[in-house]
């Protein structure tokens, strides 16, 4: 990893009283569906995150990145959805992929079917064109996770995933991937082999400092790069705007953050779904992930 990139500090946002973390996710979690007062604070927060990411990604970086966390219940799926929406509302063509095939959430947030999705594309059961949900919001496409397969880690790290991302990169200005907690299952580390850039979501008074630091090291260990971190569920500190900023910095092998440590325990609670292959095949069992001919295969 480039030392200058390691030392780059990325502003992190704080979602005030983010109760969505502890309840069933729904379309109410999208800032476009919130009350005007609450939406303004959240929108301004995501605008600042978007600006920071645009600056970082414009300097020769890949246009695809992974959103992960050290532990479950950090708000990564809601953050992924609203970040994608923020990019889309800025006139950017965005693809949001739910790579959390064990515990998918994006179909709930956007109120879409999940009968077909990423798992089917990677298993060769359907094509991306048949699985993607176009314009779930203006400029925003969604690829849901699909039925839970028996081998999500292998699929995410596969050559088929590599080829899929290579075909999609030229079509979208940004590809955002909502992935499982990197500190709990190996799926995200496998995904990082095909998309090495990541953002870590940490929940204030919930994330354990050492676990977040360990997650950073795990990501670096597979050749991944941490672009920055987003701190969620932060209590209101600036009432005039309703959001605050924190920073994560990487100095050599040391990891620094400005959020306080928490020694309190947290529940695992990470769900494992079943039912992969339960739906009938569309007759495209041998379909390649994408045959559009757009983009060259990376070496």
**Whole-number pLDDT of residue 117:** 98
Alpha helices in the chain (DSSP H): 3-7, 36-57, 76-89, 106-109, 118-122, 128-131, 152-156, 159-168, 187-192, 209-221
**Whole-number pLDDT of residue 206:** 74
Domain ranges of the chain: 3-257
Contact 143, 156 (CB under 8 A): no
Tokens of residue 210, six digits: 């050492």
Residue pLDDT, tens place only, 1-57:
343 433 333 334 333 334 444 446 656 567 666 556 667 778 888 888 898 888 888
Per-residue pLDDT at 90 exceeds 70: yes
Per-residue pLDDT at 291 exceeds 50: no
**Whole-number pLDDT of residue 133:** 97
Mean local confidence (pLDDT), 285-290: 46
CATH superfamily entry for domain 3-257? P-loop containing nucleotide triphosphate hydrolases (3.40.50.300)
Chain position carrying tokens 């306080």: 260
Per-residue pLDDT at 61 exceeds 90: no
Nearest residue to 222 (alpha-carbon basis) of 265, 251, 179? 179
- 69-73, 131-135, 138-142, 190-194: range with lowest mean pLDDT: 69-73
Tokens of residue 111, six digits: 């109120």
Alpha helices in 143-274 (DSSP H): 152-156, 159-168, 187-192, 209-221
Helix (H) / strand (E) element for 13: namely strand 10-13
């Amino acid at each position: 990893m480039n030392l200058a990139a390691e030392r780059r500090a990325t502003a992190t946002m704080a979602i005030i009283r983010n109760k969505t973390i502890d309840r069933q996710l729904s379309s109410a979690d999208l800032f476009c569906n919130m009350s005007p007062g609450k939406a303004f604070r959240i929108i301004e927060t995501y605008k600042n995150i978007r600006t920071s990411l645009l600056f970082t990604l414009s300097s020769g970086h890949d246009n695809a990145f992974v959103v992960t966390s050290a532990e479950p219940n950090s708000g990564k799926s809601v953050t992924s959805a609203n970040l994608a929406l923020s990019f889309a509302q800025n006139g950017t063509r965005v693809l949001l992929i739910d790579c959390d095939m064990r515990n998918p959430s994006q179909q709930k947030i956007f109120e879409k079917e999940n009968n077909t999705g990423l798992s089917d594309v990677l298993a060769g059961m359907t094509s991306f064109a048949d699985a993607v949900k176009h314009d779930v919001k203006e400029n925003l496409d969604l690829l849901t996770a699909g039925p839970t397969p028996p081998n999500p880690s292998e699929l995410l790290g596969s050559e088929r995933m590599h080829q899929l991302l290579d075909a999609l990169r030229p079509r979208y200005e940004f590809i955002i991937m909502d992935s499982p907690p990197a500190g709990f299952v190996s799926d995200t580390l496998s995904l990082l082999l095909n998309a090495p850039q990541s953002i870590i979501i940490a929940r204030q008074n919930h994330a354990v400092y050492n676990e977040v630091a360990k997650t950073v090291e795990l990501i670096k260990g597979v050749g991944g790069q941490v672009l920055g971190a987003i701190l969620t569920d932060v209590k209101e500190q600036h009432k005039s705007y309703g959001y605050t900023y924190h920073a994560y910095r990487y100095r050599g092998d040391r990891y620094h953050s400005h959020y306080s440590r928490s020694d309190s325990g947290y529940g695992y609670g990470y769900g494992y779904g079943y039912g992969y292959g339960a739906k009938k095949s569309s007759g495209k069992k041998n379909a390649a992930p994408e045959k559009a001919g757009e983009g060259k295969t990376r070496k």
